[in-house]
Amino acid sequence: MKLRDAPSACPSLWRCLPCPPAELRLDLVLSSGQTFRWWESSPGAWTGVLGGRVWTLRQERDRLWYTVYGDEDDDDDDRDGRPAEAAKPDGAETDRVLRDYFQLDVGLPALYRAWGAADPLFRKVADDFPGVRVLRQDPVECLLSFICTSNNHISRITAMIERLCRAFGRRLCRLDTRPFHAFPSLSALTGADAEARLRALGFGYRAKFVSGSARAIAEGLGAEGLRQLRTVPYAEARRVLCALPGVGAKVADCVCLMALDKAEAVPVDTHVWRIARQRYGMALGGRSLTARAHQEIGDFFRGLWGPRAGWAQAVLFCADLRQGQQPAGSRDRAGGGRGKGSHEEEPP
């Protein structure tokens, strides 16, 4: 099956969920720096890896359509060069995975109305950017991915994560000529040569932090212990994360918000710091983004937007990202690239 095929071309292999654009806009959510595993495989269709499987998603009016591809037989990688075929989904399970990933049980329009009532600036931009919601990602993948965001931009981060998965992850399938791999396991990233291999892949100083955090988790909390941070208070989860190699306040808040159910977490990079100062008039002194500034900005937005402040910030972040792009034609910008400001933070 070709990626360009529309849902109607193969109806028995596609399923849909009710999901109006006010609840979810794939083009905004999947390209704005929350995740780095999706690409626009054809106009309006997004293909990527979720939960160890390859998916293609697309929206048509008030429906979210999806298909899931079967795993490639590892013992027969080169069978006549044929691409993977789409697998008939186990509907109840795949529906659950998507609903959980996009947190579709959270009603977005009511939140937009509440944020707009509290904040005229939010109200001014929200109508042009509906359906921006926070993803609920695997904690290990989210953590190790965001370690790579320090002093980086979206298109480069995406390429780094692709190289990481190809080098260390299990191959899942091939669509047309493109191979897809699962995100690496902790054990794959804790070998003696992991840091050197990551440096060879262009990770630079981040190599020691990716391998170091993978090792610290494997030898400490474990993947399940990291996931269990979903049940502890935000401050405690943040403290645990900040003790890991290469994890500062911004990375910890990204993981808290996008993987650990801490909707009040407000990730602050230099870009968000600038928004707080220039648009909201926050008088934060100094020339660097200090721990105190992180706390003050987060507290300000939590006071303004309430218990889902991180979700509201995601809307403004996405709006600012799109408004700062050049006209269509740049693949970098079509994928969400914005220069260093997209995920800029001082190296640990």
Q: How confident is the model at residue 87, as a pLDDT?
A: 56
User: What is the C-alpha to C-alpha distance for residues 311 and 258, in angstroms, rounded to an integer?
Assistant: 9
* 250 counts as catalytic: yes
pLDDT tens, residue by residue, 159-202 = 999 999 999 999 999 998 999 999 999 999 999 999 999 999 99
pTM for this prediction: 0.87
Do the bridges between strand 171-175 and strand 178-181 make them parallel or antiparallel, or are there none, so unpaired? Answer: antiparallel
As given in the structure block, the two tokens for residue 347 are 């190296």
Torsion region of 20: left, alpha or beta (phi above 0 gives left; psi -120 to 50 gives alpha): beta
CB 196 within 8 A of CB 108: no
If pLDDT is split at 50, 70 and 90, which confidence band does 336 have? very low
Q: How confident is the model at residue 42, as a pLDDT?
A: 93
Bridge partners of 83, per DSSP, are none
User: What is the C-alpha to C-alpha distance for residues 283 and 237, in angstroms, rounded to an integer?
Assistant: 28
Q: Which domains does the chain have, with CATH numbers?
A: 1-104 (3.30.310.40), 138-262 (1.10.340.30), 263-343 (1.10.1670.10)
As given in the structure block, the two tokens for residue 164 are 């990481």
Bridge partners of 64, per DSSP, are 17, 59
CB 218 within 8 A of CB 190: yes
User: What is the C-alpha to C-alpha distance for residues 34 and 158, in angstroms, rounded to an integer?
Assistant: 11
88, 124, 250, 262: which is the annotated catalytic residue?
250
Residue 230: partners with Cβ closer than 8 Å, 6 or more residues away: 139, 237, 260, 261
pLDDT tens, residue by residue, 21-50 = 999 999 999 999 999 999 999 999 999 999
Distances (CA, A) of 21 to 58, 109, 118: 11, 10, 23
